[in-house]
Amino acid sequence: MCLQYTGNERAGGRVQGGLTIDPLPPNASTTCHSSLYSRSATEGELNRSTLLSAYICSVNQTSYSRNDVRIGELATISSLKASGHEQLEIQADKADIYFFCSKSGQTDLLASFIPHPLELAPCEGIFLAFPRGSWEVKVLMAAGNELFIMKMEVGSMHKLINPEFDEQHLQSASKVNMRDLMRLIPVNPSLMSCFDQLIHHKMNPPFSQMFEKAKFLEIFSLLMESSFGQRMDVCPVALSPAIETKLQQVRRHIIGHLDETPDPDKLAVMYELPRNILREGYRFVYGKTIHQYHTDHKLESALQMLNEGELLVKEVAFRIGYQNPSHFISAFKKKFGYTPKQYLKREAV
């Protein structure tokens, strides 16, 4: 059996799309990829009218929870939550750009033009594009993983950045260099909340289209700043690719242990980094000291938890490491300008 995206998207509106279960086509084949993702289905021709032009196959025949938003002709954004170990296959054209952002759980990406798998930890994203020709990417997700996917065309992206852009410039693949985009991008909880707000808002037309476009432009501008924003200072220590990888691992550790106060000395030993390189390199790459990053990230995570509405204020406080909820309320107000309860009342209006 093959789980197939239904083509139930519409311009300018939010759709809570479903999945239909179709028999495997006569000419389809199954191939083994790993112990977790034991088979996938392929067809000679995929339906390009569907949101992601993709077929999903699962070892346990479960489906995705999926919500889609189409921003006119600019982009399509999808939220996916896997209910089992599953694989999503995306067929893309040379004019397509995809952004993948992991909200929870690790997501593995296998792109046809990259010889090694890409790992996305929570709060990490990456753009993928291949302007030389058609390409595909396999997305491997475990049960409970949540992922945001944004699809755009190269011409639309350039026109958003520069309205005077002439699409004729795209005729030569050599003139489109996507290397600066195709690297891991740290995504903070505030930006993650923008995705959630875009997907799950309850506004009605025609104002919903205005809200969705405004929220998309906010997301897009923040992502472009993260990808292309120029640092004005110079890193005081030498940063090799190996060191940047270790700094990335330190960030993942901090995000994975928000309820613990990070100890730079222990982190330096754990990731085999000289303390000054860890301190200065981290501040240069992520724009904040380790303690500032930890504090901001856990408070922004608290904001995200409050938006989801599943936990009480004191439960959120305990979840991110505050033993006294009043200390959490004070820190929250200092950062955002209002208490958690004031924020919830504000959002309910």
Give the pLDDT confidence of 297-312 residue by residue, as tens digits. 999 999 999 988 889 9
237 confidence band (pLDDT: 50, 70, 90): confident
CATH 1.10.10.60 in the chain, residues? 241-348
Does 64 score more than 60 pLDDT?
yes
CA–CA distance, 343 with 92 (Å, rounded to integer): 41
Q: What is the pLDDT of residue 157?
A: 87
In terms of pLDDT, which residue wins out, 31 or 153? 153
Give me the mean pLDDT over the 273-288 stretch. 93
Does 51 score more than 50 pLDDT?
no
Q: What is the pLDDT of residue 43?
A: 34
Kindly report, residue by residue over 257-275, the tens digit of the pLDDT. Answer: 999 999 999 999 999 999 9
Percent of the chain with pLDDT over 70: 74
Instruction: Identify the CATH assignment for 241-348 out of 1.10.10.60, 3.20.20.70, 1.10.287.1080, 1.10.420.10.
Output: 1.10.10.60
Q: What is the pLDDT of residue 235?
A: 78
Does 149 score more than 90 pLDDT?
yes
What long-range pairs does 217-224 form, CB within 8 A, spacing at least 24?
Answer: 217/160, 218/194, 219/150, 219/191, 219/194, 219/195, 220/75, 220/160, 222/191, 222/194, 223/99, 223/125, 223/127, 223/185, 223/191, 224/161
In terms of pLDDT, which residue wins out, 113 or 3? 113
21 confidence band (pLDDT: 50, 70, 90): very low
What integer best gives the mean pLDDT of the chain? 79
CA count, 13 A, side-chain hemisphere, 6: 15
Domain 2-228: CATH class, spelled out: mainly beta
In terms of pLDDT, which residue wins out, 52 or 37? 52
Does 165 score more than 80 pLDDT?
no
CATH 2.60.120.10 in the chain, residues? 2-228
Kindly report, residue by residue over 69-109, the tens digit of the pLDDT. Answer: 999 989 999 999 988 888 889 999 999 999 999 999 999 99
Kindly report, residue by residue over 196-235, the tens digit of the pLDDT. Answer: 999 988 899 889 999 999 999 999 998 888 776 656 567 7
CA–CA distance, 299 with 56 (Å, rounded to integer): 36
Question: What pTM did the predictor assign?
Answer: 0.76
Q: In what helix (H) or strand (E) does residue 67 lie, and over which residues does it extend?
A: strand 64-71
Does 136 score more than 70 pLDDT?
yes
Query: Which has the minimum average pLDDT: 37-46, 110-119, 216-225?
Result: 37-46
The DSSP letter of residue 82 is E
CA–CA distance, 124 with 144 (Å, rounded to integer): 17
58 confidence band (pLDDT: 50, 70, 90): very low
Does 167 score more than 70 pLDDT?
no
Q: In what helix (H) or strand (E) does residue 160 lie, and over which residues does it extend?
A: helix 154-161
